[in-house]
Structure 1
Amino acid sequence: MFVEFDLQRAVDYEGAMRASPYARAAELEAACWALAERRRPPVRRIVELGAGSGFATPALLEQLAPGGELIACDPSPHMLAHLQPLAGMRKLVATPSRIDLPDDSVDLVFSMASFHHVQNKKVALDEIRRVLKPNAELLIVDVDFGTPAQRFFDHVVQHHCRTGHEVEFLDRAFMQLLCDRAGMIHRWSRRRATDWQFSDAGAALSYIMRLLGLEIALAELAPLVEHWLSPVRHADGRVTVPWSLGFHLLAKPAARAAS
């Protein structure tokens, strides 16, 4: 099962992204870094899980070989409705646990800021393993367990998100365990600072509330953000919200040679 964004959650999310389009620029830069760290040539087919309205989609198109295809998947048609058409991309309503694609047909699966929504991660990895070609890779980018962002989710978002948020976050050890159970190879896990940037404190609070679908007054949210995330206020009024993401690269084992 995957937590699906309803219409209002999709509208709020997209509204936040449009109001502060560069707030998560460091996340996108880090995702591009992780894609480059794969040290692989361009590929023919990429599946993006939890594509939403397309935050990372243009960066993934850069990973395609000429004539390649990017399949932007999301369980919410409301989120995909906000994803603008792009050359080389098609949309697919799908969850990580049910991807309507043939076996051994995908060169790279990518998931950014969405895998924590997957409630049965072993089942999802089994399905991802099925669609990946032998030796093809899965790159998961998400909030890591044991970070301020994770604690904010568990202590604030879980209690105030309009669509619920009871989830499990990853770390290196959990990822290795999942790989062992799903028959995947754990290539590496890394973590990078990806702080969010805002023009002022009001923009930061509004963004957090709308992006995460919180049903809480801004006056009540402010001290919670202060306590769990410790935002930095600059002399010119700008606000930095400390944030970080984990990067986990997995691979499907190579096909065994025929005996």
Structure 2
Amino acid sequence: MLDATPTVSALDYRDIFELRGRLYHQAMQKVPNARDNEFLNVVREARITPGMTVVDVPSGGAYMSRHLSDVELIGLETSQTFAELATARAQNVLLYENNQFPLKDACADRVLSIAGLHHVRDKCEIFLEMRRILNPGGRILVADVAEDSFVRRFLDDFVGHYCETGHSGWYFGASTRAELHDAGLNIIGDKRLDYLWCAQDMEQLADFCRLLFGMTLADTSTVADGIRNYLGIRELGHQVGLNWQLHCFACES
């Protein structure tokens, strides 16, 4: 473990990914199935069926599109970089600002948010917008790093040490439950999702994480050591996986 004080980032989501969104996208292009378990876990929790309108926010480079078919998928982003990368892949991603979505009321059957909201300090405005665009009987799924988790320690201690932008966040916990309630949402599911990020070998897995988190101050070997020390790994025969975890809230209006 690192003894040094973790680097603290004062940047918000848009600023962070304008700086390192292309590295993040490079990781997702090089190992596109690394986070399959993450996306599929949320899809299962959301109970998505064909014909639904699904909104993904923030959508990054529209990575959810690999895991959903026979639905209308709308991505929302504040990062121009991510929006351009998604458009280049012929994916439908709209830019928004000031926590206001460019969508009409009651237009979505499902609203998903995976691992982006820890870069947002005040989540209540986002949750209010999610509720506004949700159809009656629709469902919101938000999944992100928990404040008391080993993943948070990896991000703020290890990633923060080797990423030029640092890493800190406003993670899921009791305050998130309060913000969801304040937005008029009813929490119907509240659980931890445990799963693996996978690659063909440790070198590929470490390189994926180095690019994804913008750890330009570390080499692949250093990142591999950090993964072992903070997260732990599992040998899967033809693959290797690192332990990962998000906290997931399922909500209705």
TM beyond 0.5: yes
Where 2:208 maps in the other structure, the secondary structure is: helix
Determine the structure 2 residue equivalent to 1:191: 192
TM-score with structure 2 setting the length:
0.82
Gaps of 5+ in 1: 253-259
Specify the SS of the correspondent of 1:242: strand
1:3 deviation in Å?
A: 1.0
Determine whether 1:48 maps to 2:51.
Answer: no
* Alignment-derived partner of residue 3 in structure 1: 13
Residue 29 of structure 2 corresponds to 18
- CA 6–248 in structure 1, closer or farther in 2 if over 3 Å, else same: closer
- Correspondence 1:59 to 2:67: yes
- Deviation of residue 7 (structure 1)? 4.9
Structure 1 residue 220: deviation in Å?
3.6
| Superposition map of 1:68-87 within 5 A | 69-83=72-86, 84-86=89-91
Instruction: Judge conservation of contact 2:202–2:224 (CA < 8 Å) in 1.
Output: no
Deviation digits for residues 38-83 of structure 1 (CA, Å, limit 9, x no counterpart): 7x7743x332101111211243444x3xxxx432111112112222
Partner in structure 1 of residue 147 of structure 2 = 145
CA contact (8 A) 2:193 2:246 kept: yes
Higher Cα Rg: structure 1 or 2? 1
TM-score, normalised by the number of residues in structure 1 = 0.80
Name the aligned partner's letter for residue 129 of structure 1. R
Match of 2:168 in 1: 166
* Identical amino acids, percent of aligned pairs: 24
Amino acid paired to 1:52 = G
In structure 1, give the amino acid aligned to 2:59: A
What stretches of structure 2 of length at least 5 have no aligned partner? 1-10
Contact 1:24 1:194 in 2 (8 A): no
* Separation of aligned partners in 2, 1:59 and 1:95: 26
* 113-122 vs 227-236, which moves further: 227-236
Q: Aligned match of 2:157 in 131, 155, 158?
A: 155
130-139 or 195-204, which moves further after superposition?
130-139
- The DSSP-based 3-state class of the residue aligned with 2:85 is coil
* Equivalent position of 2:4 in the other structure: none
Give the Å deviation of 1:213.
1.3
State the secondary structure of the residue aligned to 1:139. strand
Deviating 4+ runs (over 6 angstroms): none
Q: Deviations over 1:91-111 (max 9, x none)?
A: 201258221223333332111
Counterpart for residue 5 of structure 2: none
Aligned ranges for residues 69-218 of structure 1 at < 5 Å?
69-83=72-86, 84-86=89-91, 90-94=92-96, 97-171=99-173, 173-218=174-219
In the alignment, residue 34 of structure 2 is paired with which amino acid? A
Distance across 2 between alignment mates of 1:7 and 1:166: 17
CA RMSD after TM alignment: 2.6
Contact 2:56 2:73 in 1 (8 A): yes
Would the alpha carbon gap of residues 135 and 99 (structure 1) be closer, same or farther in structure 2, given more than 3 Å must change? Answer: same
Q: Per the alignment, in what secondary structure is the counterpart of residue 176 of structure 1?
A: helix
AA partner of residue 241 (structure 1): L
Residue 97 of structure 1 contacts residue 125 of structure 1 at CA under 8 Å; is this kept in 2? no
Distance 1:176 1:10 in 2: 29
Per mean C-alpha deviation after superposition, the further-off stretch among 5-14 and 180-189 is 5-14
Displacement of 1:2? 4.5
Distance 1:182 1:7, change over 3 A: closer
How far did 1:192 drift?
A: 2.3
Q: How many residues align?
A: 239
1:244 and 2:245 are equivalent in the alignment: yes
* Letter in structure 2 aligned against 1:123: E
SS of the aligned residue for 2:106 comes to coil
Q: Take 1:150 and 1:139, find their aligned partners in 2: how far apart are those partners?
A: 20
Give the CA deviation at 1:139.
0.9
Cα distance in 1, alignment partners of residues 129 and 19 from structure 2: 29
